[in-house]
Amino acid sequence: MTFIAPVKFAIDLLAVLLLALGIKGLSKVRSAREANRLAAIAMLLAAFGVLLNSQGTIGISIDSWIWIICGTLIGGLLGAFTAKKVPMTAMPEIVALFNGCGGMSSLLVALGVALFPSSEGSDGVVSELVRNFSIVVSLFVGAITFSGSIVAMAKLQGWLSTPSWTQSKARHFFNIFCAVLALIGGVYLSIDGQNGLFLVVVASCLLGIGVTLPIGGADMPVVISLLNSYSGVAAAAAGFVVGSQLLIVAGAMVGAAGLILTQVMCDGMNRSLVSVLFGGALGASSVASGGGGGEYTNITSCSPEECALTLEAAERVVIVPGYGLAVAQAQHTLREVTRVLESADIEVTYAIHPVAGRMPGHMNVLLAEADVPYEQLKEMDVINPEFPATDVVLVLGANDVVNPQAKNDQTSPLYGMPVLDVQEARTVFVVKRGMSAGYSGIKNDLFDLQNTSMVFGDAKKVLGDLLLELKELGVGSKG
Amino acid sequence: MSFFSEALWVLLLGSLLGLELIGKVPPTLHTPLMSGANAISGITMLAALTLIIKSGDNLPLLIIGSISLGFALFNVIGGFLVTDRMLAMFSRKKTRK
């Protein structure tokens, strides 16, 4: 009893230190992997600290052990299985799913303490009002995180579309209504600790849905990042509920770091957080406004053979990888094609749009998987001035990020979004499965341009054919 | 009241620390960082553990705590593993060079 408290304290301090170093290290390429492990070790230590302290002071009953082991095994195994099985292309969805579960966990803790006040974790050190208020915050933020993340995941998976009512003013009334209901429930619950409990939970869940549902397209990762920050806040609130300072520190760190990351992402897309949250989806509004609609009039399509001939004569080639490339899992075939081109002294670079692959950094991960040298990846601001001096641009399964409408057409829902100026290049090849619209559902003016040719087909198959054609032409074989 | 005021200090300093930790992040690391921070937010597993331990023989509470623990660990273990998978691709590239 006497020595356990200091030991627990030391473990907590060590865990916080490791967590902080972990978050710090995760923001540098060199140290990221070790930092991730460090954070994992910190979590293990923290859990050990709680178990040790409880065993030493009040003791842990057999029943408790059984339920701890059940929860650990089921949650842990499912998590490990999901993490191993999920394809790299589905990364945004899976982060949203994990995040939602973290929020749910905070919600359940607060729910448990609220339903059975006798089990209050902090042993009376927290006054009733503070405790109730902490419960309300934990329920509120946890519920928003959970429902918002699940909606985000469903939308990214394509299970949910954007209902038209969410694009009208009605959604603001709906959200304000839910927020007011949650507030009323929260006030009740803060005062007497019983009433208003389920009002808070239900209204907060609806609010999470109402806020997330209208957001679509390229803005989704920002929302996930924001919800990630919320789950940190929820954890901190749960820390107040059970009286754990370690939880408060860790939750606050994640909450603040998540907020910064969200801001960094917004900067990258040249959007403000407010316009992401309240500006409405890019996609669904195009249907209503009609801006950017219309038929294609001047489509030129060509075979991989013609594409190969043009590539052979080129000196500078820029690859624009997009989500289609990721879906077709064509990054390895792409790497082979670029190897052939490079061996023929053709300069190859990759233009990475900030949201290529639906999540910042997602495309970098996929190309790294295919062994593409890091130096060849160019960010949008760097590559855009270089397009006029480029012979061939190969657009692989990207659409909205190369739509010139974003610059030229003020009525377009895409207007103002930063895009890659591929139309400045001499020739543009767009590899695409068909004429269907991109994620935003908007017509792409690029396809109608004189210097654009469409190569229809699955990215992997087209690149495979291209590779054969290039080899037949003898490209790169001399060098 | 002492726990509360202490906890508020902890909250404040923790938030400031979080703000300072993430300075300039290369876009490459946005996705891994998000998923790593997400795994850390699963620290609510400690709250779930505490809940289970203090619930005695209260069966509904044990169940709620256990489900909560399951959700949190799904978040933690899945999050760390998936982050590691992503980061492994960067480091593998490095060793080959």
Banded model confidence at residue A121, pLDDT cuts 50, 70, 90: very low
DSSP readout, A231-254?
HHHHHHHHHHHHT-HHHHHHHHHH
User: Residues A425-435: what's their mean pLDDT?
Assistant: 83
Please name the residue of chain A whose CA is at the shortest distance from the CA of residue B13. A249
What are the tens digits of pLDDT across the range A335-387? Answer: 888 888 888 888 888 888 876 766 777 788 778 877 888 778 888 888 888 88
User: Residues A90-110: what's their mean pLDDT?
Assistant: 91
Q: What is the ipTM score, two decimals?
A: 0.90
- Cα separations in angstroms, A214 against A154, A161, A172: 13, 9, 10
Which pLDDT score, from 0 to 100, does residue A252 have?
A: 93
What are the tens digits of pLDDT across the range A184-238? Answer: 888 888 887 677 888 889 999 999 998 888 876 667 788 888 999 999 999 999 9
Residues of A in contact with B83 (CB under 8 A): 26, 36
Q: Which pairing describes strands A316-321 and A347-352: parallel, antiparallel, or unpaired?
A: parallel
In a domain, B5, yes or no: no
Residue contact B29–A32, C-beta within 8 A? yes
Beta bridge partners of A432: A456
In a domain, B19, yes or no: no
Which of A178-187, A242-251, A408-417 has the least mean pLDDT? A408-417
Question: Which positions ≥6 away from A191 have C-beta within 8 Å?
Answer: A129, A132
User: Residues A451-472: what's their mean pLDDT?
Assistant: 85
For the cut 60, the answer to whether the pLDDT of residue A9 exceeds it is: yes
Which pLDDT score, from 0 to 100, does residue A196 have?
A: 81
Whether A241 and A113 have beta carbons less than 8 Å apart is answered as yes
For the cut 60, the answer to whether the pLDDT of residue B95 exceeds it is: no
What are the tens digits of pLDDT across the range A34-66? Answer: 999 999 999 999 999 888 888 877 777 888 888
Return d(Cα B78, Cα B86) in angstroms, integer.
12
In a domain, B67, yes or no: yes
Output A441 or A74, whichever has higher pLDDT: A74
Which of A400, A421, A445, A465 does the annotation list as catalytic?
A400
Question: Which positions ≥6 away from B91 have C-beta within 8 Å?
Answer: A33
How many domains does chain B contain in total?
A: 1
Please name the residue of chain A whose CA is at the shortest distance from the CA of residue B69. A71
Structural domain boundaries enclosing B77: 26-90
User: Residues A139-152: what's their mean pLDDT?
Assistant: 93
Q: Of the spans A104-113, A325-334, A410-419, A425-434, which averages the highest pLDDT?
A: A104-113
For the cut 70, the answer to whether the pLDDT of residue A175 exceeds it is: yes
Question: Which positions ≥6 away from A385 have C-beta within 8 Å?
Answer: none
Banded model confidence at residue A413, pLDDT cuts 50, 70, 90: low
Best interface-test mutation with B: which of A12, A30, A62, A64 has the largest number of B CBs within 10 A? A64
Tokens 């009334």 map to which residue?
A173
Banded model confidence at residue A108, pLDDT cuts 50, 70, 90: very high
In a domain, B58, yes or no: yes
User: Residues A378-402: what's their mean pLDDT?
Assistant: 84
In a domain, B76, yes or no: yes
Which pLDDT score, from 0 to 100, does residue A157 have?
A: 80
Banded model confidence at residue A400, pLDDT cuts 50, 70, 90: confident
Residue contact B32–A27, C-beta within 8 A? no
* Cβ burial A149-166 (10 Å sphere, 16+ → b, else e): bbbbbbbbeeebebeeeb
Residues of A in contact with B19 (CB under 8 A): 256-257, 259-260
Banded model confidence at residue A295, pLDDT cuts 50, 70, 90: low
Which pLDDT score, from 0 to 100, does residue B81 have?
A: 93
For the cut 70, the answer to whether the pLDDT of residue B7 exceeds it is: yes
User: Residues A448-459: what's their mean pLDDT?
Assistant: 84
Nearest to A90 by CA among B85, B77, B70: B85
Best interface-test mutation with A: which of B1, B28, B44 has the largest number of A CBs within 10 A? B44
Residues of B in contact with A22 (CB under 8 A): 36, 40
Average pLDDT, chain A: 82
In a domain, B39, yes or no: yes
Percent of chain A with pLDDT over 70: 87
Active site residue A400: yes
In a domain, B84, yes or no: yes
In a domain, B85, yes or no: yes
Which pLDDT score, from 0 to 100, does residue A289 have?
A: 39
Banded model confidence at residue A294, pLDDT cuts 50, 70, 90: low
